[in-house]
Structure formats: C-alpha cells, structure tokens
Amino acid sequence: MKLKDKVGIITGATSGMGEAIAKTFAKEGVQLILSGRNVERGQSLEKQLSNAVFVPGDITDPTYNKQLVDTAINIYGKLDILSLNAGVLGLGNVEELPIEAWHSTLNTNLSSIFYTSKHALPHLQKSEHGNILINASIAAFKSFPNHPAYCASKAGAVALMKQMAVEYAPKVRVNAMCPGPVDTPLLWESAKAFENPEKAVANAEKATLLKRLGTPMDIAKLALFLVSEDSSWITGTTITIDGGIINT
Ligand SMILES: NC(=O)c1ccc[n+]([C@@H]2O[C@H](COP(=O)([O-])OP(=O)(O)OC[C@H]3O[C@@H](n4cnc5c(N)ncnc54)[C@H](O)[C@@H]3O)[C@@H](O)[C@H]2O)c1
C-alpha cells in the first residue's frame, strides 16, 4: 500500500473522478472523509469502503469546510491529504450568465479550495506527508465557448495552487491536475453548451491525440502518483491529463 494509515479528505467524492479517487486511495490504505451533497450516493460509497466516513454538505459554505477538517481530526487525530474535486460549470456567455451563477461557480471551483485549505493547513504542516491536490482543468489554459466562470475559476485554482506551494514548502506539497474530456456527468453537462451535445462529446473524443475520452480511473491513477512518495520532488506544478487535446 502506497498510503497506509494516511488520512485524507476528498471533495466531490460522490461521483465521477472524486469517487474513483476515493476508491483508489482507500485501496492504498487512506482513511477517508468523503465530502459531497448527494446523501444516498455518499452513504453508499461509505458502505463500500471500510475506512471512510461521509460528511454531507455544501462546499461553498466555509463552516462546512471547517466541519470536514474537524471531523478528520476528531475521528483520526491527524490530516495528511486534501483531494479537492468539487466542481460546477456555470454555462452561458458573459452576457447570458446570471451574476448569481458567476458567484456560485467561483465559490464552488475556487473559494472552496481556499476554505478547505485554510482550515486544513495547520494540520497538514504537522504531517510528514502534507499534500494538497487540486482538480483543475485544461480550461485553466484553453478557452471554451459558454464557460466564462468555469475557465476563470480554474485559472484561479491553478494560481492559488502555485501560491500555496510557495508559501507552505517544504512542509506541504501542492499540485494540480488539469484533465481534458473525462467521461463523467459533468462532461455531458458541459456538452450542453454546444448545439448538439452528443456530437460535441464525439468531437472531443476525436480531437484527443489518443482517440478516446479519459476515464475517472485515468485521473485517479495520476492523483495517487501526485499524493504518494513517488512524486516526492514535485510541487507547485500542473499536470495536464487530456489525451493530448490541448495540442490540437
Ligand atoms: N469531466 C471532465 O471532463 C472534467 C475535465 C476537467 C476538469 N474537471 C473537473 O474535475 C472535477 C470533478 O468533476 P467530474 O468530472 O468528476 O464531475 P462530477 O459532476 O461527477 O463531480 C463533481 C462533484 O462536485 C460536487 N459538487 C458540486 N458542487 C458542490 C457543492 N456546492 N458542494 C459539494 N459538492 C459539490 C458534485 O456533487 C459532484 O459530486 C471538477 O472540479 C471538474 O471541474 C472535469
């Protein structure tokens, strides 16, 4: 096991990549706090993993972020890893996107990273293995129509990652994954920004150099690498995992 007896919080754990990361980390020995909004899916995942506790809530609420950290400390007595995956899209061009949707997208995709990290960092600095891993997106570097809040929030997440890496080295490593199109509910939601969503997903698949969509497990394997000792000399960086689509 690569992460035996480590303690981690995973946000966005009830679906897509967060769920795959939770399953992968649990197999590698991490004792988990699972964060998500969907109580049914969260409780079901908690049952499947023997070493996990589901704490339901809204990641845009700073008090919920504190609750996640407090729960980890109360139950396991320490905290080693944050894997931050919660994300929403906020679709519509700048003229159409309601101001409320702008704020909720920024709050979910960016401010929540600040909230969780803020409460977790005092504990992560005490760990021999302090790690923050942010799930950003190629949207941090490449623009997509009708995703203004999403692109801005992901670019912000990458900037925050780099800032925290500088501030908290060498105690805590901070990195970000930047996925391309991965087959999750969010990808299909994102495709609604295009006239023909099915065609948009098929086009994205064709546009990857490797001619397939990513799977949640592709991302979970990278997440495992980035929080394990295998990447012990990596901090303050983004790894693009996108089948090569950023080059097209
Ligand atoms: N799927 C893709 O193609 C893709 C590509 C690049 C980056 N990403 C990023 O990967 C991350 C995971 O997304 P996914 O594709 O697995 O999609 P997903 O929709 O399966 O997962 C997103 C999770 O975030 C949770 N979430 C959203 N708002 C929340 C809130 N206010 N409080 C608590 N939880 C909340 C959702 O409930 C969901 O479980 C996201 O940050 C997304 O932006 C996805």
Counting ligand 1 atoms within 8 A of each CB, the residue from 9, 10, 17 with the most, and so the one to mutate, is 17
User: Is there an atom of ligand 1 within 6 Å of 87 CB?
Assistant: yes
At residue 2, what is the residue type?
A: K
Asked, for residue 239, whether it belongs to a domain, the answer is: yes
Whether residue 93 has pLDDT greater than 90 = yes
Whether residue 210 has pLDDT greater than 90 = yes
Atom 39 in ligand 1: which residue has the minimum CA distance?
Answer: 12
CA pair distance 137, 214, nearest whole angstrom: 13
Residue bearing the bigger pLDDT, 117 or 192: 117
Q: What average pLDDT score do residues 177-199 get? A: 95
Q: Count the helices and strands in the chain (H runs, E runs).
A: 9, 7
Atom 23 in ligand 1: which residue has the minimum CA distance?
Answer: 12
Q: What average pLDDT score do residues 77-83 get? A: 99
Q: How confident is the model at residue 32 (pLDDT cuts 50, 70, 90)?
A: very high
Whether residue 180 has pLDDT greater than 90 = yes
pLDDT in tens, 41-52: 999 999 999 899
Domain harbouring 88, CATH code: 3.40.50.720
Could you confirm whether 168 is annotated as catalytic? Answer: no
pLDDT at 16: 98
pLDDT in tens, 97-119: 999 999 999 999 999 999 999 99
Q: What average pLDDT score do residues 128-137 get? A: 98
Asked, for residue 238, whether it belongs to a domain, the answer is: yes
Give the residue numbers spanning the domain of 20: 7-182+215-243
Q: In angstroms, what is the span from residue 212 Cα to ligand 1's centroid? A: 20
pLDDT at 193: 86
Asked, for residue 204, whether it belongs to a domain, the answer is: no
High-pLDDT (> 90) share of the chain, %: 99
pLDDT at 7: 98
Asked, for residue 210, whether it belongs to a domain, the answer is: no
CA pair distance 52, 74, nearest whole angstrom: 14
Structure tokens at 115: 């909230």
Atom 8 in ligand 1: which residue has the minimum CA distance?
Answer: 137
At residue 93, what is the residue type?
A: N
pLDDT in tens, 4-22: 999 999 999 999 999 999 9
Asked, for residue 105, whether it belongs to a domain, the answer is: yes
CB atoms closer than 10 angstroms to residue 211: 10
Asked, for residue 162, whether it belongs to a domain, the answer is: yes
Total domains in the fold of the chain: 1
Pick the catalytic residue from 76, 115, 150, 168.
Answer: 150
Which atom in ligand 1 lies closest to the alpha carbon of residue 108? Answer: 31
Whether residue 35 has pLDDT greater than 90 = yes
Q: What average pLDDT score do residues 160-166 get? A: 99
Which residues pair with residue 9 across a beta bridge?
A: 33, 82
pLDDT at 135: 99
pLDDT at 72: 98
Asked, for residue 208, whether it belongs to a domain, the answer is: no
Asked, for residue 158, whether it belongs to a domain, the answer is: yes
